[in-house]
Structure 1
Amino acid sequence: MTSPQQILEHTFGYTEFRGPQRQVIDTLMSGRDALVLMPTGGGKSLCYQIPALARPGCGVVVSPLIALMQDQVEALQAAGVRAAFLNSSLPFDEAQNIETALLHGELDLLYLAPERLLQPRTLGLLQRVELSLFAIDEAHCVSQWGHDFRADYLQLNCLHEQFPRVPRIALTATADQRTREEIARRLDLEGAEHFVSSFDRPNIQYRIAQKNNPRRQLLQFLRDEQQDNAGIVYCLSRSKVENTADWLRQQGFNALPYHAGLPADVRADHQRRFLREDGVIVVATIAFGMGIDKPDVRFVAHLDLPKSVEAYYQETGRAGRDGEASTTLLLYGLEDVVKLGQMAAGSEGSEEHKRQERNRLNAMLGLCEITSCRRQALLRYFAEELPQPCGNCDTCLQPPQTWDGTQAAAKLLSCVYRTGQRFGAAHVIDVLRGSENEKVRKFGHDKVSTYGIGTEYTANEWRAVVRQLVVRGYLEVEGEFQNLRLTEACRPLLRGEESVELRTLPPSAKASRGESRSGAAAADIDPADEPLWQALRACRKQLAEDKGVPPYVIFHDATLRGMVAAKPQSREALLAVSGIGDSKLEKFGDAFLAVLRDFAPASTL
C-alpha cells in the first residue's frame, strides 16, 4: 500500500482525515518540509506515520522521552507496522538486531532520542540507508523560551545539512508566536509550510480556584466527580509530590508519586501502572507526562501554579486525548506567585530571559484572575479568537461575582505604607484586623492609623485582596521574607482617582454542567448496554495483559463504544467500526466477536 488513504483505512482503521492532516501528508509526500502545531489528541502522529509508510525508506522520529517511544512503537506494532526504537533501555544485542533490520530495509519507522541521533555513529548508520522523512516530535523543546527546553534539540539543524533531500516535519501542541519563530529558525525550517490548527480542546472543562484548604478542595473534586477515574495531580516540588501521594492513598485512592528524584526503575514501574491499570492517579512534578499517549486521562489537577500559559496548556492537554469529557482543576495562591517570581528572578538566564519569564508568569496570573470566559482568554494567548464564550469553563458555568474593592484596596495599600513596606501579607492582614499578637505589638503597629480598620473582612478575604492587587500591579513582593511594597501604579487609586473591581471569593461548589463521570456513564452508554460495555472492557484488559501492553494499544474507548452501538456479528461488520484496521482485526477480532455474540439477541444469530 502506497496510498495515504489506503494506509489510513487498512492500517489505522479510520475512513477520513481530520483537520489539516491530509495537507500535511501531501506536503511530505512531495518532499517538502512542514511545521505543524496541532492540539494534543488532534492526530499529529498520523501526519508523519502515514507518509513514512507511503514513501520509500524508513522514517526517523526524534522523540524526547523513552516512555513516549515505547508507547508509540507498541501501538504501531499492534497495527502491523514495522516499528522500533533505539535508546539506552535496550540491551546491546537487541540494539544490534534493530540496527541490522534498519540496514536490511526491514523497518518503516525508527524512534530515536535526540542525543542518540546526534552521535556520529548513528548519523553514519543513517547515511547508509534510504530514509523517507525525519519527524521532530515535541518540537517546542528546541525553544529556550519554552517550558520543556532540551539542549540536544538545538543541534538538530544538522539534519538539514547532512540529509538535504530528506523532508522534515516538526510537530508540537504548544507554541506561541515567539516559540514558533524560534523552532523554525533553529531547525532551519524557515522555508517549511506552516500548519496551525485550532488550539481549542472543547471536551476539556477548565476550572481555576483560589486556594482555600487545597487538600479539602482536591478531595471534594475527586470524591464527587472523579471516583475510579485515571488522572494526574501536578505539584511544584518533589516533597509535595511524595506527601500528596501518601495522603491520597490514606484517603483510599490508588495514587503513585513520580518525580526525577525517584530511582529510574520506580519511575518506570509507576508509569507502567498508570498506563495499564484502571483508576490510577499519578502525583507528579512536570517531569511526568510529556507526550504520554494514554487517551483516557479524565482529569488533571494542579496544586501549584504553572509558570506559564504554555505549561498550563501542555499539562492540562494530557486530559481527554480520546475526545471524551474531561476536567482540569487549578488551585493557586499568593505563595505560588511569590515562589515562581523568585525562581524567575534567580535563574541563570539573561535579563531579557528573566523579563520574558516574568511576563509569562503575569499572563498565567491574568488567566487565573479574569472574570470572563477562560477558554476565550486561553485561545487569545495563542492568537486565536473564540467568537462566543465557551459555556464549559467555571466562569461560564458559574459567573464569578465581583465587588467594588476600591475602599478595601486603599485600606490595604495604606497599611502596607504605614508598616514600612517591609512586612509580608500575613503581618499586614494582622494589623488591618486588629490582631493583638506579639509581633504586632513588638513593632508598635497597634499604634498606626490603619490598625483594626479591616475587621469587616476575614483573613482569607484579605489574602484574596492582596493576591489580586499583586496580579494587577498595585503591589509587588520582594525579598526572602516576601515583603509587600507599593508600586507607582497604586497612586491614582490612593488619591481616589481610580476604582477597582475585585473578584469575590466563591463558595466551593460542584460544576453545574459538564461534570466528569466514571464507568459507562462517561462513555454515554445506554444502561441496558452496560453489561456488554463492561464485558468488552474486560476482554480488552485480558488481551492487553497477555501481550504486556496498555489497554488502549488494543483499542481506544471510542472503538469499544462503536462496537456497543453497532453490535457487529461478523468480521466484515467489525472492520467497519472506526479504529479497527486489517492487522487489529486479524489479531483481536475473533475475541471481541465472541463477546459481542454472547450478548446478541437470539434472533440475530
Structure 2
Amino acid sequence: MTAIALSKVLADVFGYAAFRPGQEQVIGAVQQGQDALVLMPTGGGKSLCYQLPALMAEGVSLVVSPLISLMQDQVESLKTMGVAAAALHNGLAPEQQQQVLQQAATGQLKLLYVSPERALQGYFMRQLQQWQVTLVAIDEAHCISQWGHDFRPEYGQLAQLREALPQVPFMALTATADAATEADIIQRLHLHQPEVFKSSFDRPNIRYIVEEKFKPQKQLRDYIAKQKGASGIVYCGSRKRVDELAERLRQDGIRAAGYHAGMAHDERDLILRGFVRDDIDVVVATVAFGMGINKPNVRFVVHFDVPRSIEAYYQETGRAGRDGLPAEAVLLYDPSDAGWIRSMINEHPDEQRRQVELHKFGAMQALGEAQTCRRLVLLNYFNEFRDEACGNCDICLDPPRQYDGTVDAQKVLSCIYRVGQRFGANHVIDVLRGSQSQRLTALGHEQLSTFGIGAEQSQSYWLGIIRQLIHRGLVIQNIQHYGTLQLTAAARPVLRGEVALQLAEPRMNLAVSKPKVTDRADYDKLLFRRLRALRKSIAEAEDKPPFVVFSDATLVEMAVHYPTDEQSMMLISGVGQTKYARYGEAFIAAITAYLDAEEEPLLQF
C-alpha cells in the first residue's frame, strides 16, 4: 500500500495530517507480514499502529485488551469515525455476542476487541482459524512478562493464540517495558524475528514534581483547589484511604469520587462513566483504577503513596496529558514509607518474584530521593540514556547544590570494576566504607585497592552517589542478575579522568519543591470553554464521552486558529471527514457566533 494511500486514510478517518514518530514504520512492517514489538509512551499513538493497517486490509484484525471499559472506549471512538469495530465480552447478552461473531465471520468488522480469557477459549480459537484474520494485536503486552509490573497468568498463555494462527502477523504493544520485560515478551509470545520499534519514553508535556509528605491531606486539598475543576486522578495505597480522601474532597466542594476493587461493579462503572464524561473532576483510586482509563484530558495525577515500581509510576502518571497539552504528576514522598512497602514485598512466597519486586521498588525509591532531573531518572531506567536536564521537573526548577563529583564517581566506578561487576549497591558501599563484615572478608575484598577509600562518608551518602550514576547512565543495575551493578561505556572517560562530572550534593532530607508557575498555553480560553460546553451538550445528547466528539487538544487548536469554514476546519488535527460531517457545522457556528460577538463593541463606534 502506498504512502499516499496511508496518509489519505490517516487524514480522512483519523483527522491527522502526519504520522507520529515510529507509526509509519510499524504499519509498514505489519503490512509486509512481519511480527512487531511496539514500545510507545501512553498517548504516543500505539492504537493507530494496528487500527490503520486493519482498515487497509481485507478481513478482521483481533485486538487482545485487558479491560472491558478500555475495549468499549476504543470501539466507541472508532464507530464515531465511521470504522466497523466491536468488542466481545461477558457484558453482552448471548444474542449480542452471537451477532458480533457473525459480523466478524462474514467480514463486516475491521476490528474485534477481546479479553485474553476469551481469546484463549478453544471454541473461539477454532472460529478464528476459519476467519480471514489479518493481524493480532496484544495491547498492554507487559502483562505477559514475569518481569513486568503487572504480570497476569492468562496473558502469559497467549502463545497458544500464536500457535493457532502461525501465518498471521502479531503485534505486541506496551508503554512500559525495561530490557528484561522486552525480551520476555518476545520469548513468551513466540514472536518470529520481530521488528522492535521504540519511541522515546519522554512525555515532555508532563511536569514531574516530588514533594516531601508532611501534611499530606492538606497538601492534596490545597493542590486540587488550585486546579479549578481540571480533571485529575489521585492514587492511594489502600481502600480505606481512598474512601477517606474522597469524602474529604467532597466536603471541600470538589466533584470527587472514590474507586477501588472493594466497591460493587455497577458503582465502579458509574464512577468511571462520570469521570470519562466530565461529570466527576477527581477520582481517588487504588491501582484498580488502571489501564481502562481512556480519557485524554486528565490534567494531573497525584500519588498520595509511593508506587511499588517505576513502571507502575510511569504508566499511572502517563494517564495525564494524553492529549499532548501541559499536565502535572505529583508524588508525595515519605522515605519512611519504604520500610512498610518492603515488608509487604517480603511476604511474597516466590523468591524470584520477591527479588524482582524489591529491585523495582528500589528503583522507585531512588526516583523519589533523586538529586538529578526526574525525567532523566525515568528515561535512563528505560535505557533511553540522556544527560541534558529537562527544565520541567522540580529538580530542574528548584535545583540542589552542585559540586565537582568526579573523584566520588571514580571511587564508586572503580570499586564496581574491582569487585568484578558482580555485586549490588550495598556490597560496593561496604567495600568503599571498609566494612569488616564476614562475607566481605570471605571474598577477600578487604584486599582490594578501593577498600575503605570512602570511609569518611555514610552509607546513605554513597547510595545517593550510586543512584546519581545510575540516573546519568554510567551504571546499570541488572535485574536479571540480582541487581548487580555494571559499568556502561559512558563510565570509561570518567574513570580515566578525561571528563569532569558535576553531581548534586546528596540531601539527607528531602526538601519541599516549589516549581515555578508559568502560563502554559497561548489560546483563547473563553472560546475554549464555550467549545467545551458545546462538546459536552453534544456528547450528552449522543450518550458518549466528550473526548469521543473532539479531544481537548482539538478544541485548543480551534481556539488558536478560529476555523469558520469547512476548508479551515478540516485542517484542525483530529477533524476527519466523518467527524466533520457529524459535528463540523455546529462548531463552526459556535466559533462564528463568538467572533461576531467579539466584534460588536467595535461596530458601535
TM-score (normalizing by structure 1) = 0.81
1:316 corresponds to which residue? 317
Task: Please say if residues 209 and 513 of structure 2, whose CA atoms lie closer than 8 Å, have aligned partners that are also in contact.
Answer: no
Partner Cα separation in structure 2 for residue 357 and residue 593 of structure 1: 53
Distance 1:243 1:473, change over 3 A: farther
Alignment-derived partner of residue 525 in structure 1: 523
Q: Is the 8 A contact 1:52 1:108 kept in 2?
A: yes
Residues 281-319 of structure 1, C-alpha deviation per residue, up to 9 Å, x if partnerless?
A: 111111113152201111111111111111111111111
What is the CA deviation profile of residues 380-420 of structure 1, one whole-angstrom value per residue up to 9, with x for unaligned ones?
111112231111111110113599xxxxxxxxxxxxxxxxx
* Counterparts in 2 of 1:488 and 1:249: CA distance versus 1, 3 Å: farther
Query: Which of 141, 144, 153 is 2:143 aligned to?
Result: 141
2:55 to 53, 56, 61: 53
TM-score (norm 2): 0.81
For residue 27 of structure 2, the aligned residue among 25, 28, 34 is 25
Q: CA deviation at 1:99?
A: 1.3
Q: What is the CA–CA distance in structure 1 between the aligned matches of 2:238 and 2:439, rounded to whole Å?
A: 34
The yes-or-no answer on 1:382 pairing with 2:377 is: no
Check whether the contact 1:402–1:504 (CA below 8 A) recurs between aligned residues. Answer: no
Alignment of 1:97-496 (within 5 A): 97-224=99-226, 226-277=227-278, 280-349=281-350, 351-400=351-400
- Distance in 1 of aligned mates of 2:92 and 2:29: 34
Q: How far has the Cα of 1:126 moved from its partner?
A: 1.5
Would the alpha carbon gap of residues 4 and 159 (structure 1) be closer, same or farther in structure 2, given more than 3 Å must change? Answer: farther
User: Displacement of 1:496 after TM fit?
Assistant: 5.8
Shift of residue 504, structure 1, vs aligned partner? 5.9
Q: Which sits farther off after the overlay, 69-78 or 362-371?
A: 362-371
Counterpart secondary structure, 1:503:
coil
Q: How far apart are 1:559 and its partner, in Å?
A: 1.2
In structure 2, C-alpha distance between the alignment counterparts of 1:539 and 1:264, rounded to whole Å? 31
Q: Cα distance, 1:164 vs. partner? A: 1.4
Report the 3-state secondary structure (helix = DSSP H, G, I; strand = E; otherwise coil) of the residue aligned with 1:512: coil
Structure 1 residues 79 and 339: alpha-carbon distance in aligned structure 2, compared to 1, 3 A threshold: same
Query: For residue 456 of structure 2, what is the aligned residue in structure 1?
Result: 497
What displacement does 1:227 show? 2.2
Mapped partners of 1:509, 1:189: distance in 2: 45
Question: SS of 1:100's equivalent?
Answer: helix
Letter matched to residue 515 of structure 2:
A
Instruction: Please list the CA deviations of residues 493-542 of structure 1 after superposition, one character each: whole Å capped at 9, or x if unmatched.
Output: 9996335464264665642145xxxxxx765323xxx4432221111111
Deviation at 1:223, TM superposition (A): 2.2
Task: Decide which of 75, 78, 88 is 1:76's aligned counterpart.
Answer: 78
1:270 offset after TM fit, Å?
0.5
Q: 1:541 aligns with which of 536, 545, 548?
A: 536
Aligned residues: 516
Do the aligned residues in 1 keep the contact of 2:234 with 2:301 (CA within 8 Å)? Answer: yes
Gaps of 5+ in 1: 404-468, 475-485, 515-520
Q: 2:580 aligns with which of 580, 585, 588?
A: 585
Of 386-395 and 19-28, more deviation after overlay is shown by 386-395
Counterpart-to-counterpart distance in 2, 1:114 and 1:63 = 7
Instruction: Name the SS for the 2:86 alignment partner.
Output: strand
Aligned to 1:407: none
Q: Quote the Cα distance in structure 2 between the aligned partners of 1:568 and 1:325.
A: 23
Is this contact kept in 2: 1:401–1:504, CA < 8 A? no
Structure 2: tracts of 5 or more residues without a match: 404-424, 431-436, 441-445, 462-504, 601-605
**1:428: which partner in 2?**
none
- Amino acid in the other structure paired with 1:551: P
Q: CA deviation at 1:597?
A: 2.3
8 Å contact kept, 1:154–1:186: yes
Deviation at 1:118, TM superposition (A): 0.9
Q: Quote the RMSD (CA, aligned, Å).
A: 2.7
Which residue in the other structure is 1:451 paired with? none
Query: In the alignment, is the contact (CA less than 8 A) between 1:13 and 1:579 conserved in 2?
Result: yes
Instruction: Report the secondary structure of 1:77's partner residue.
Output: helix
Asked if 2 retains the 8 angstrom alpha-carbon contact of 1:238 and 1:285, the reply is yes
Counterpart CA distance in 2 for 1:574 and 1:235 is 42
User: What secondary structure sits across from 1:9 in the alignment?
Assistant: helix
CA distance in 1, matches of 2:577, 2:313: 38
Summarize deviations over 1:152-187 as a string: whole Å, max 9, x none.
Answer: 111111222111121110000000000001100000
Identity of aligned residues (%): 47
Structure 1's 511 and 278: CA in aligned 2 closer, same or farther, altered over 3 A?
farther
